[in-house]
Chains A and B, each alone.
Chain A
């Protein structure tokens, strides 16, 4: 498959970039260690059970950033022009930039949940549901990265990353949205990340099943599908000036 050849190159670029690896793997792990250590077992929010899903989603934003930067930087090179003369469709190009990022996101989630478990995360539910929600959010973030990388300059890409990061944090990554309430809760409920976090915490902490998370999951899936379509459209726009 032609797209896999480019995906393999992008994977090598990601693996051979120490800063990218540090951002995507080490930073979320360190954040979880620090925050969970501060709160300990007595805190309602600064504990491994509450924080692990939030930090996992925070980590996905890092993946979004690195994938967006790779594409935005590539666009400024003649190599990208060369790649655009290859018989690849917009969906092939988008897939080639997304696949390595999805693999990094998977590795990152494994690291974060392993640290969460080591820090005392109580896991009451079905792991398959957690994997499903994480997969949907990873697809959403990576697709947003492709959109940003395809349309924005390198500098503007950093701005897009900041926006998604804030939306994720204010979606309740490491605080309880119910305690904040008001407009923050209202706005967050319109966006996908608070729903994804609610779904993850329902499964992890409360042992919730598919019936308990279906609404939140559907919300996140809707955003993910829209983001994937936007990524293909953005790539198509980029292919011919």
Chain B
């Protein structure tokens, strides 16, 4: 990884970036600025325009209009200059199945003009860090999905890029593997600029310094996860935790507040006017073992719901 990335020069700058397919607008005038060393997430549902945006930033797709620059190199007029600085881990697992992990990494180092000794040294470090060193000599076609995904990320990093694009890096992974990839990506922060596309809200929340929520090809919100939650999440539901729920108690809550729903020991009250005190008062006449009443922390899902009127769930 680059030792230090300037925080003054924008790593990525897109202005009115637009792409249409036929008459259909896939990306609609996106403006973005990502600083060096930042981990920036593009969050949105499938088909929102995240991958199309990424492909334009990588020089794989010609913008219909607008422009984008990577560390000052225009993606349309200086694609080779851009490609010297970037690496991508595509959404589908992008590995050569008949080769082993060493050979896959050597391939990527080689096509970026990195000498064999340096490539081998970096490969060794990446394979160990990503837990692939024990099976590095095996053909990749025998790897699990999680191992292929980790190798795919390693293939993006072996070239020591200034900017890395990770397109849905944890899609299809089990929670444990996902957590492992998150930890690795988090460890890269500040050393390299990372643009991550995801439709996992918790992934963006956990990893991103800043994020853009994309819907229908447009950026509908931009900021840090905390900023977005405080700006857009609005009043949060009350979570009432108790043992010994009775039908009478639930009926009383339902009669007093809107949007009452029960899940095991927890009842959620989606009435923004409801207060903790009012819930306590309402349940007092019943023999319910109240253990807690609190507001649910705001999530990016609430932000998305607030902005688009729909839920973003994988």
Interface residues of A (CB under 8 A from B): 2-6, 8-9, 12-13, 16-17, 77-79, 81-89, 239-241
In the assembly, what is the distance between CA of A239 and CA of B61, in Å?
9
Closest to B19 in A: A241
- 28 A–B contacts, CB within 8 A, in A order: A5-B109, A8-B110, A9-B96, A12-B103, A13-B96, A78-B90, A79-B94, A79-B96, A81-B55, A81-B60, A81-B90, A81-B94, A82-B90, A82-B94, A85-B60, A85-B83, A85-B87, A85-B88, A86-B108, A86-B112, A87-B80, A87-B84, A87-B111, A87-B112, A87-B113, A88-B111, A239-B79, A240-B61
Chain B nearest CB, measured from A81 CB (Å): 5
The reply on B275 being an interface residue by CB < 8 A is no
Whether A82 pairs with B155 at a CB distance below 8 angstroms is yes
Query: Does A2 contact B111, Cβ atoms closer than 8 Å?
Result: yes
Least Cβ distance of B164 to chain A in Å?
A: 11
Contact A6 to B91, CB < 8 A, known contacts A81-B60, A85-B60, A87-B80: no
- Give the top 6 A-B pairs by smallest Cβ distance, nearest first: A5-B110, A78-B94, A78-B92, A78-B90, A86-B111, A87-B83
Instruction: For A82, list chain B residues within 8 Å (CB).
Output: 88-90, 94, 108, 155-156
| In the complex, residue of chain B having the shortest beta-carbon distance to the beta carbon of A88 | B111
A77-B92, A78-B91, A82-B90 known; A2+B110 contact, CB < 8 A? yes
* B62 & A240 in contact (Cβ 8 Å cutoff): yes
Asked if B223 is at the interface of the complex by the 8 Å CB criterion, the answer is no
How many A-B contacts are there with CB distance less than 8 Å? 83
Which of chain A's residues have a CB closer than 8 A to the CB of B96? 9, 13, 79
Inter-subunit contact B59/A6 (CB<8 Å): no
- The residue that B99 contacts in the complex, of A12, A87, A240, with Cβ under 8 A, is A12
* Binary flags per residue of B159-176, CB closer than 8 Å to A gives 1, else 0: 100000000000000000
Nearest Cβ in chain A — how far from B110, in angstroms? Answer: 2
Partner of B103, one of A3, A9, A85: A9
**B86 contacts the other chain (CB 8 A):** yes
By the criterion CB–CB under 8 Å, are A81 and B88 in contact?
Answer: yes
Hey, which chain A residues are within 8 Å of B60, CB to CB?
81, 84-85, 239-241
Interface residues in B, total, Cβ within 8 A = 35
- A166 and B80 CA atoms in complex are apart in Å by 40
Contact between A9 and B99 (Cβ–Cβ < 8 Å)?
yes
Residues from chain B with Cβ under 8 Å of A81 in the complex: 55, 60, 88, 90, 94
Set of chain A residues within 8 Å of B108, measured between Cβ atoms: 82, 86
Q: Is the interface of A mostly helix, strand, loop or mixed?
A: helix
Say which residue of B59, B88, B92, B112 sits within 8 Å of A240 (CB atoms): B59
Contact status of A78 and B111, CB under 8 A, knowing A240-B60, A240-B61 = no
- The closest CB in chain A to the CB of B60 belongs to A84
CB distance from A236 to the nearest CB of B (A): 11
Residue of B nearest to A17 (CB): B98
Please determine whether A240 and B79 come into contact, CB atoms closer than 8 angstroms: yes
User: Is A79's CB under 8 angstroms from B110's CB?
Assistant: no
The answer, yes or no, to whether B267 is at the interface (CB within 8 Å) is no
Question: With A and B bound together, what is the CA distance between A16 and B108 in angstroms?
Answer: 20
- How many whole Å from A72's CB to the nearest CB in chain B? 16
Residue of A nearest to B58 (CB): A85
How many angstroms between the C-alpha atoms of A79 and B79 in the bound complex? 19
Residues of B contacting A79 in the complex (Cβ-Cβ under 8 angstroms)? 94-96
- Expressed in whole angstroms, the Cα–Cα distance for A2 and B87 within the complex equals 15
Query: Is B93 a contact partner of A6 (Cβ separation < 8 A)?
Result: no
Residue-wise, chain B 100-123 has the 8 Å CB interface mask toward A (1 for contact) of 000100111111110000000000
Residue of A nearest to B21 (CB): A241
| Complex CA distance for A79 and B87, rounded to whole angstroms | 12
Cβ distance A195 to chain B, nearest Cβ, rounded Å = 37
How far is B156's CA from A173's CA once the two chains are assembled, in angstroms?
47
Most buried by A among B61, B86, B90, B109: B90
Question: Could you tell me the distance between the alpha carbons of A5 and B96 in the complex, rounded to whole angstroms?
Answer: 13
Nearest-neighbour CB distance to chain B for A90, whole angstroms, equals: 11
**Further contacts, 15 of them, CB under 8 A, given A3-B111, A13-B96, A82-B108:** A6-B111, A9-B96, A12-B103, A16-B98, A17-B98, A77-B94, A78-B90, A82-B88, A85-B86, A86-B111, A86-B159, A87-B83, A87-B111, A240-B60, A240-B79
CA distance A4 to B103 in the complex (A): 13
